[in-house]
Amino acid sequence: MRKELIEKFSAIKTPFYYYDLELLKQTLRAAKTEADKYQYHVHYALKANCDAQVLATVREHGYGADCVSGNEVKCALDNGFANTQVVFAGVGKTDDEINLALDNDIFCFNCESIPELEVINELAAVKNKTANIALRLNPNVDAYTHKYITTGLEENKFGINAHELDDIIDLLKKLLNLRLIGLHFHIGSQITDFNPFKKLCSKVNEFIHLFEQKGIQFEHINVGGGLGINYKEPDTQAIPDFKTYFAIFNELLELRKGQQLHFELGRALVANCGSLISRVIYVKKGINTNFAILDAGMTELIRPALYQAYHKIENLSSDDKRNVQRYDVVGPVCESSDCFGKAVYLPETKRGHMIAIRSAGAYGEVMASNYNLREKAIGVY
Ligand SMILES: *Cc1c(COP(=O)(O)O)cnc(C)c1O
C-alpha cells in the first residue's frame, strides 16, 4: 500500500474498512467495456457491499442492481438505481418484500419455487399489476468452490429443478398477474476456473431449446454472477479477467434473435478495492507460534471463520524483510475461529503496528456483526 495512505490512516481509529475508489472505478470500467462489446446488461449484486460511496460509484458507471431482500431493493432505489434495472432474487421473499418491489415496479422477480409464484401472483392481483418474473432454474452445475458458496446443484436450496418445469408451465397459464420474461441462473461464488461457466452455457442452451419445444420464448436470459477474484495477488491481479469471462458467454451461448443477456456480478467488482485496516493490540508468545492479536476480528470480516477463506495479510508499519517471523493473526473475539490466518510470515510485528487484511471489499462490511457488543467499523476512502 502507498506511503501517503499509511500516513493518512495513522489518524483514524482502527479497525476500519478502506475502499480504494480509484481501483473500484478501474474495475467497473474494465467490466463495463467488455460487457458493452456484446450489449450485455450487468447488475451489481448489492449484497457484496452496500457502502453508499461504493454504490454511488457503481451506479455512475451504468450498472443495474441485483437484490436479495426488500431492504436491498429499497437501498438500491434510495441510492439512485433505476427501478427498471432492479432484479430481485431469493428463496424466501416475504409478502412485505414482494409488495415493496411491486409498488416500485422493479424490472424482474427471479422466482425460486411454485409457492413463491403463487404468492407474487396473488399480491400483484390485489394491486391490479402484472409482475415480470424469471424462473431461477437449477442447472446442476458444480462450481467447484467452497460448499457453502455453491448454489447451482440440485441438493442446494436455490432454484427450481428441471422435473418441476411442466407443472410450472401449466401453473403459469393460470397465474394471470405474472408475465414470464426470462430464465435465471446463478451457480455459486468465487469461481476462478472458467469451466463451470462453460458448462452453465451448455445447460442454458438446453433449457432455451426445451422451452422452445413447449412453445415458450424468452426476452431475457440472466446467468447470474460468481466470477472469482485473486485473493493471493490483490496487487498484481487486482482486476479479474472480464475479457475471457464475457467472451465465453458470447462464444458458447446460443442466444436467439433479440434475446438480452444479463449478469449479476458482486465480488468481482468490489472485493479487491477494499481492505480491513487494523492495529496490533498485543503480540503473544504461543507454544509453537506467536499470535498477533488485532483490534479487528470476525465481527468485521467473517469469511476466514465462515469458509476458511484466505485473505492476504500485510504489515503496513514495517517492511523489514531481514527479520521475518511466523504469526497466527487473530482477532479479539471470544471464538477460536476468530483467526485471519495461521502461520503467516510477516516482518517482526509489534504492538501498535498497522495491519491490512486485503480483498475485504466483498462480503466484509455487509456481514459485520456486533457480537461481543463490538462497535461498527466505518468506511474510509
Ligand atoms: C450472491 C449473488 C450474486 C453475486 O455473486 P458474486 O459471487 O458476488 O458475483 C449474483 N446473483 C445472485 C442471485 C446471488 O445470490
Cα angle at 303 between 338 and 238, to 5 degrees? 125
pLDDT of 378 strictly over 90: yes
> Which residues sit with their C-beta closer than 6 Å to ligand 1?
45, 47-48, 66, 68, 89, 186, 189, 224-227, 264-268, 362
The predicted structure's pLDDT at residue 153: 67
Q: Residue 70: pLDDT band by 50, 70, 90 thresholds?
A: very high
Output the residue whose Cα is nearest ligand 1's atom 11.
224
Cα dihedral 193→21→235→316 (10° resolution)? -130
Mutation to probe ligand 1, out of 47, 111, 137, 359 (largest number of atoms < 8 A from CB): 47
Mutation to probe ligand 1, out of 110, 186, 197, 242 (largest number of atoms < 8 A from CB): 186
Q: Which of 258, 260, 278 is nearest to 221 (CA)?
A: 260
Q: Which atom of ligand 1 is nearest to the CA of 136?
A: 13
What percentage of residues in the chain have a pLDDT greater than 90? Answer: 91
Phi, psi of 245 (to 5 degrees): -55, -55
pLDDT of 149 strictly over 70: no
Q: How far is it, in rounded angstroms, from Cα 84 to Cα 64?
A: 8
Q: 269: CA distance to ligand 1 center in Å?
A: 11
Interval 287-317: pLDDT, tens: 889 999 999 999 999 999 999 999 999 999 9
pLDDT of 282 strictly over 80: yes
Q: Residue 241: pLDDT band by 50, 70, 90 thresholds?
A: very high
Q: Which atom of ligand 1 is nearest to the CA of 47?
A: 1
Q: What is the average pLDDT across 266-273?
A: 98
Q: Which atom of ligand 1 is nearest to the CA of 89?
A: 13
The predicted structure's pLDDT at residue 148: 67
- Whether the CB-CB separation of 153 and 129 falls below 8 Å is answered with no
Mutation to probe ligand 1, out of 66, 110, 229, 363 (largest number of atoms < 8 A from CB): 66
Paired sense of beta strands 260-265 and 274-285, if any: unpaired
pLDDT of 2 strictly over 80: no
Q: What is the average pLDDT across 312-331?
A: 96
Q: Residue 219: pLDDT band by 50, 70, 90 thresholds?
A: very high
Residue positions counted in the chain:
381
Q: Residue 157: pLDDT band by 50, 70, 90 thresholds?
A: confident
- Yes or no: domain 5-15+272-380 corresponds to CATH 3.90.1150.10: no
Q: 266: CA distance to ligand 1 center in Å?
A: 6
Q: 191: CA distance to ligand 1 center in Å?
A: 11
Q: What is the average pLDDT across 257-283?
A: 98
Q: 240: CA distance to ligand 1 center in Å?
A: 16
Q: What is the average pLDDT across 78-104?
A: 98
Q: Where in the chain are all domains bearing CATH 2.40.37.10?
A: 5-15+272-380
The predicted structure's pLDDT at residue 150: 66
The predicted structure's pLDDT at residue 162: 87
Q: Which atom of ligand 1 is nearest to the CA of 190?
A: 7
Q: 66: CA distance to ligand 1 center in Å?
A: 8
Q: 224: CA distance to ligand 1 center in Å?
A: 6
Indicate the average pLDDT of the chain: 95
pLDDT of 1 strictly over 80: no
Q: Which atom of ligand 1 is nearest to the CA of 43?
A: 10
Q: Which atom of ligand 1 is nearest to the CA of 191?
A: 7
Mutation to probe ligand 1, out of 189, 193, 229, 265 (largest number of atoms < 8 A from CB): 189
Q: Which of 226, 228, 232, 227 is nearest to 310 (CA)?
A: 232
Q: 64: CA distance to ligand 1 center in Å?
A: 13
Q: Domain 21-270 carries which CATH code?
A: 3.20.20.10
Q: Where in the chain are all domains bearing CATH 3.20.20.10?
A: 21-270
The predicted structure's pLDDT at residue 223: 98
Q: How far is CA 47 from the centre of its chain?
A: 6
Q: Which atom of ligand 1 is nearest to the CA of 48?
A: 8
